[in-house]
């Protein structure tokens, strides 16, 4: 169920489609708005995002595991190979997840409680193995990235995400994967699986010239 509120900067009506949304942007004055309890606070202005070749956009719809979702937000990060998107997904049962979109490769994940304290980023090394209840995972990539900007609705505020962040990617013998996100302390654990573009059955895609 969507929620309506007034922008604290320009007074325009702002709609929250995701009930637990913490941050969004005013579509009229581009103020970054953070929601605390019932109050809204302007904390800055939306940064211009780089040109995006992804066909996914806000309000794209799709299916993962027989569950329908709508894209309600996006985080963009820069790293040595360019940029990637983390699309915030809202499912019809009001659960949420994330769809990573980089170089036309896609991976779905959800935030999970780590089965044990996660190591400090300085103690990570490629080839390191983690044995969790979900299976065995091997650390394959350590990526240093910088937060670029956002659009839509997010379940957290991004005001502390302007420094470089380390992401540790882990793979299993199956299509399952995990990511340790060091943008917060303690770090966050996301687990999911690799998905294909066709599998997502996406609708309301961004159209490019020549399609």
Are the CB atoms for 140 and 130 separated by under 8 Å? Answer: no
> How many Å apart are CA 43 and CA 39, to the nearest integer?
13
If one compares 1 and 60, the residue with the highest pLDDT of the two is 60
Measured CA to CA, the distance from residue 185 to residue 191 in angstroms comes to 18
pLDDT score of 145 more than 60: yes
pTM: 0.88
Of residues 33 and 194, the one with the higher pLDDT is 194
pLDDT greater at residue 174 or residue 100: 100
How many angstroms separate the CA atoms of 199 and 1, rounded?
27
Task: Report the chain's mean pLDDT, rounded to a whole number.
Answer: 88
pLDDT of residue 78: 94
Comparing C-alpha atoms, which of 198, 171, 164, 167 is closest to residue 180? 167
- Burial category of 198 from C-beta neighbours within 10 Å (exposed 0-12, middle 13-18, buried 19 and up): exposed
CA distances from 122 to 21, 42, 127 (A): 32, 35, 15
DSSP single-letter state for residue 55: S
Lowest-pLDDT range, 2-16, 77-91, 113-127, 168-182?
2-16
DSSP readout, 7-22?
Answer: -TTT--EEEESSTT--
What pLDDT shows up at residue 204?
A: 95
Other CB atoms closer than 10 Å to residue 202's CB: what's the count? 19
CATH topology of domain 3-45: Rubrerythrin, domain 2 (2.20.28)
Q: Where in the chain is the domain with CATH 2.20.28?
A: 3-45
pLDDT of residue 208: 66
Query: Does residue 51 carry a pLDDT above 60?
Result: yes
């Amino acid at each position: 169920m969507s929620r309506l509120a007034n922008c604290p900067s320009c007074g325009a009506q702002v709609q929250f489609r995701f009930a637990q949304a913490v941050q969004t942007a005013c579509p009229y004055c581009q103020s970054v708005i953070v929601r605390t309890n019932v109050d809204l606070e302007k904390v800055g202005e939306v940064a211009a995002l780089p040109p995006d070749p992804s066909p996914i956009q806000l309000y794209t719809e799709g299916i993962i595991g027989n569950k329908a979702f709508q894209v309600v937000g996006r985080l963009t990060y820069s790293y040595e190979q360019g940029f990637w998107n983390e699309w915030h997904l809202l499912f019809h049962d009001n659960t949420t997840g994330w769809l990573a979109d980089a170089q036309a490769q896609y991976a779905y994940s959800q935030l999970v409680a780590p089965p044990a304290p996660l190591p400090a980023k300085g103690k990570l090394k490629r080839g390191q193995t983690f044995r969790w209840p979900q299976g065995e995972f091997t650390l394959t990539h350590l990526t240093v990235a910088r937060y670029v900007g956002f659009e839509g609705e997010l379940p957290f505020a991004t005001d502390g995400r302007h420094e470089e962040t380390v992401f540790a990617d882990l793979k299993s013998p199956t299509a399952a994967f995990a990511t340790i996100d060091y943008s917060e302390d303690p770090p966050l654990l996301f687990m999911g699986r690799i998905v294909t573009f066709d599998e997502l059955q996406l609708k309301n895609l961004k159209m490019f010239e020549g399609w």
